[in-house]
Structure 1
Amino acid sequence: MTSALTVLAADFGSWKPDDWSAAASVASTVLTLLAVVIALLAALYARQQVTLARQLREEQAQPFVVVDFQDNPAMRQGIDFVVENMGQTLATNVRIVVDPPFSSTLDDTGFPLKDAPLIAQGIPSLPPRKRFTALFDSAPERQATDLPSRYIATVHFDDAHGRRQEPLTYILDLSVRRKLLSVSEYGLTDGVQALREMSKTLKEVRSELTRERHRQAAIERASSEARSGDTAVPEPEADPT
């Protein structure tokens, strides 16, 4: 049988039935190989898509524990330390390692954050969207000290099945909060302070009104007594005889 190269190089007008049969075989083989290659590429692409979809589902289903500093909603210029599971599944055995250990101007109150169970012992379970908030410090008081402004927090945790997850590291930098323009928000503490000042002012006004009332009453009594003395009829003098 004529080889494939001979068939391809031959003059089509002089081809014999065997030549056409060989050409058909070559074409069929090439098409079959192309179909196999296309099928393999499609299978690889489909497998890659399945793998990516599975990885995306796994990532979306994993817990995601975040730690950060945030503004305290009730205390002006107060700083909160927040721990929250922003993932879609339960986080377990949550441990937070902070370097250097937390230090605050509020440590003297008897509740230093570094010794709180949240840091010292960890969190046994943290459901999705569950948040723990702890008052960390007051910005004005802290700025007047030489306490650290930068902490590195590493969060270790397991998923709902007890499988260890990749640790997450956060840089908590308080210096980025300085010299930032912001709108003043008045919270509960400001409201309580305003009510106290209002109550004090009302007491002073009430006392002043009471004193003024007493003064006016005294003036009226004195005026009334004076008028009574002027209109009194004098008693007749006794006859000496």
Structure 2
Amino acid sequence: MARRTMWVTGGGILVAGIAFGAGMSLGYALRPDSGAHVLAQTADEWAAFGTVGTLIIAAVAAVIAFTQAAEARRLRIEQAQPYVVAYMKQNSNTPVLVELVIRNFGTTAARNITVTSTPTIRRADGAKAEDVWLPTDIPVLAPQQEWRTFWDSGAERFDHPVLADENRHVVTVTYDGVERSPQQVSESILDWGAYVGGIFITSKTVHHAAQSLGKIATVMGRWTDSSRGLTVYTRDGRAKDARVATELEERARRRQRREPHSGSDPESIYRPNEA
């Protein structure tokens, strides 16, 4: 911004100087005793007057062209700058979990990225709180590249006895952009208040399918008999059904006689390992 102000000021001074010179030249041309006055009738006098006018027009055009070129260069540099910001993002698989993301949205690489926050970024740790680890320096982030880490769980953070007053953070990211340009700075307001009262819908994705397959593999692993394959248990269904029917009849007779229960646990009739 300072450079742009300097260019505009310089251009204004130059235009003012040209206008002053043009006014002086025109005043001289209008004088009756001037060799180039507008009432001149000779070809040489009109040629001199035309030359002065041409010089004025050329000077104004040069100033305009110079100003436009300087503005175009400023815009090219601004568009080429990286744009690194910090923001909060819900985990795509578990929306109640929120991550801290540092991302370069620009078209060129950002270098020497540093991140600071006021207050310090912390997460719930039971009834206490712990600092969220942040790198002291990220060497480079290519266009559309990001760095992220788990911040906190909304279910644990809200109404937390320690973090109740730490829900609003001012995160400042500083980084180097295009060569010979000043250090770039971006500031973000990260507020957990935006998530209070939110209702999240969990969608089942390939991630959940992989988790289910992992559980199936664990259960089937318990069924193996050494390295020879699965262990198989068999039972006589009819015998079990008859035993269950007999046990139920016995229990009914005991209730009628109001006798204390004697025998096996009633729940044992449903155990699959007993024949």
SS in 2 for 1:104: strand
- Matching of residue 151 in structure 1 with residue 169 in structure 2: yes
TM-score, normalising length: structure 2: 0.56
- Matching of residue 90 in structure 1 with residue 109 in structure 2: yes
Letter paired with 2:103 = E
SS in 2 for 1:21: coil
Match of 1:175 among 172, 178, 193: 193
CA contact (8 A) 1:93 1:122 kept: yes
Letter paired with 1:138 = S
CA contact (8 A) 1:83 1:133 kept: yes
- Matching of residue 125 in structure 1 with residue 140 in structure 2: yes
Structure 2 residue aligned with 1:216: 238
Compute the displacement of 1:153 (Å): 0.9
Letter paired with 2:238 = Q
Root mean square deviation, CA, Å: 4.0
Aligned residues: 193
- Matching of residue 39 in structure 1 with residue 62 in structure 2: no
Letter paired with 1:123 = I
Compute the displacement of 1:109 (Å): 11
Q: Which is bigger in relative contact order (C-alpha 8 A, separation at least 6)?
A: 1
Match of 2:98 among 56, 64, 79: 79
Supply the distance in 2 between the matched residues of 1:24 and 1:178 (Cα, whole angstroms): 85
Letter paired with 1:63 = P
TM-score, normalising length: structure 1: 0.62
Supply the distance in 2 between the matched residues of 1:33 and 1:129 (Cα, whole angstroms): 56
- Matching of residue 137 in structure 1 with residue 159 in structure 2: no
Structure 1 residue aligned with 2:36: none
CA contact (8 A) 1:73 1:187 kept: no
5+ residue gaps, structure 2? 1-28, 34-38, 218-232, 244-275
Larger Rg: 1
Q: Which runs of 4+ in 1 moved over 6 A?
A: 107-111, 192-199
Once the two structures are superposed, residues 205-232 of structure 1 have per-residue CA deviations (whole angstroms, 9 ceiling, x without a partner) of: xxxxx99x745234579xxxxxxxxxxx
Letter paired with 2:154 = A
Moved more, 161-170 or 179-188: 179-188
CA change 1:188–1:140 in 2 (3 A) is: farther
Letter paired with 1:132 = W
CA change 1:130–1:120 in 2 (3 A) is: closer
5+ residue gaps, structure 1? 8-18, 200-209, 222-241
